[in-house]
């Protein structure tokens, strides 16, 4: 597919993005841009297909829609030539690999800026581009970022720490990468000078914990892992009901005022003083309230609890499965799930575009591309002749299905 065939829509129409890597942490940032009109070319390696194509390709289909792709041996001499031509008219380049990978290929930021002085370069890695060399070169996946970024120490039980699933580290890292890239692009268009972002998974995980790291450093106390419980509030956890589980978040002065009487208690009593807008974990009041809630939930379905407590004003939600979410009327009313066509014409249903924009909405115009399917069109746009493209295939600089 040629760039001239891509529909113009969304706030990122006219923004050219090149993305290279595999899996999630970097490429998902480009996926968000593609959903809002960015012209995204995804560069896969000729030596190994993106791991997102595995497991029936569900991750690939969800996260590579609206993209064109080229399978390129980037470190080869001819591959570098193609790669730099791709970047000549790009606004943003996103890559995820071990720290220093592109510099090791001779493709430093300075080399890229010689080709395109205004280019915004986004390096996404597990441990960053600078620091202790031993760490920079380490590979990383989602749970490694969570483990080194202190999230795993915070979650699970005392006997078994655990990460959050699925892909929470990767997705959050991609969000930082996308907003950082667009902020840098805003500045680059003012000055004509590019920027280089160094985004490490573990740092994103640390920053995403609000004031908890600050508090721990100040006090010298590492929070204990609390399993399903909240770190300091009681009745703020899952409760078992007749047909599954619900999550109840019992906290805030307004909620205490209406919620406590519902379960037979008084807000402002010795058990639940008005000076504390939540139920103190481990207190006698917490023990009594949670026992009442457990008894209440055991006799009701998740829907019954959801409707009754929501009407009262207590934050509550059933623990939703994918099937329950797909059939839920609020999900349906907001069109959270949508259908689009794969490049082979088959229909697929997945998660719709986020965030929702009123005036410049995103759209899905193409399913995720097959391996190397846009090689020829992209190279012809860069000025390569059919004869030269054939030579690149023969030299294994290019690959396709």
* 58: helix, strand or coil: helix
Report the C-alpha gap between 185 and 369 in whole angstroms: 27
Strands 236-241 and 244-249: antiparallel
Q: Residue 150 burial (CB < 10 Å; 0-12/13-18/19+)?
A: middle
Three-class SS string for 248-265?
Answer: EECECHHHHHHHHHHCCC
Rounded to whole angstroms, the Cα distance separating 187 from 197 reads 13
Alpha-helical runs (H) found in 151-268:
151-154, 168-191, 201-207, 212-219, 253-262
Task: Give helix 302-312 / helix 253-262 axis angle, nearest 10°.
Answer: 120
Strand partners, 138: none
- Specify the DSSP class assigned to residue 51: G
Beta strands across the sheet bearing 316-318: 236-241, 244-249, 316-318
Active site residue 377: no
The CA R_g of the chain, rounded to the nearest whole Å, is 25
Question: Rounded CA gap, 182 and 10, in Å?
Answer: 14
How far apart are alpha carbons 293 and 266 in whole angstroms? 15
Of 35, 63, 170, 374, the catalytic one is 170
Which residues participate in catalysis according to the annotation? 170
């Amino acid at each position: 597919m040629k760039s001239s065939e891509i529909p113009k829509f969304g706030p990122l129409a006219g923004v050219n993005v090149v993305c290279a890597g595999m899996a999630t942490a970097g490429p998902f940032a480009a996926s968000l841009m593609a959903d809002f009109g960015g012209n995204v070319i995804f560069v896969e390696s000729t030596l190994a297909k993106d791991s997102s194509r595995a497991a029936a390709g569900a991750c690939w289909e969800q996260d590579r829609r609206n993209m064109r792709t080229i399978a390129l041996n980037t470190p080869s001499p001819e591959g570098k030539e193609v790669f730099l031509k791709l970047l000549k008219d790009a606004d943003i380049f996103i890559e995820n690999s071990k720290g220093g990978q592109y510099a090791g290929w001779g493709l430093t930021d300075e080399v890229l800026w010689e080709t395109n002085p205004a280019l915004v370069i986004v390096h996404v890695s597990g441990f960053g581009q600078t620091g202790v060399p031993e760490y920079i070169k380490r590979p990383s996946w989602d749970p490694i970022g969570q483990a080194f970024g202190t999230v795993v120490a915070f979650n699970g039980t005392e006997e078994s720490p655990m990460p959050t699933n699925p892909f929470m580290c990767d997705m959050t890292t991609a969000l930082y990468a996308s907003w950082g890239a667009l902020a840098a692009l805003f500045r680059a268009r003012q000055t004509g000078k590019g920027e280089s972002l160094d985004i490490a998974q573990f740092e994103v995980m640390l920053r995403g914990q609000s004031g908890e790291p600050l508090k721990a450093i100040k006090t010298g106390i590492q929070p204990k892992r609390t399993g399903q419980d909240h770190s300091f509030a009681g009745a703020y956890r899952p409760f078992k009901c007749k047909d599954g589980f619900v999550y109840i978040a019992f906290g805030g002065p307004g909620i205490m005022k209406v919620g406590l009487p519902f379960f037979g208690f008084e807000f402002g009593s010795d058990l639940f003083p008005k000076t504390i807008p939540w139920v103190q974990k481990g207190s006698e009041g917490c023990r009594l309230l949670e026992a009442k809630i457990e008894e209440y939930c055991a006799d009701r379905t998740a829907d019954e609890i959801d409707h009754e407590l929501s009407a009262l004003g207590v934050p509550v939600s059933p623990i939703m499965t994918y099937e329950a979410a797909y059939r839920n009327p609020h999900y349906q009313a907001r069109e959270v799930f949508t259908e689009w066509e794969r490049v082979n014409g088959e229909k697929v249903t997945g998660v719709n575009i986020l965030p929702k924009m009123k005036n410049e909405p995103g759209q899905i115009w193409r399913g995720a591309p097959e391996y190397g399917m846009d090689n020829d069109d992209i190279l012809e746009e860069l000025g390569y002749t059919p004869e030269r493209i054939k030579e690149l295939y023969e030299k294994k600089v290019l690959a396709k299905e």
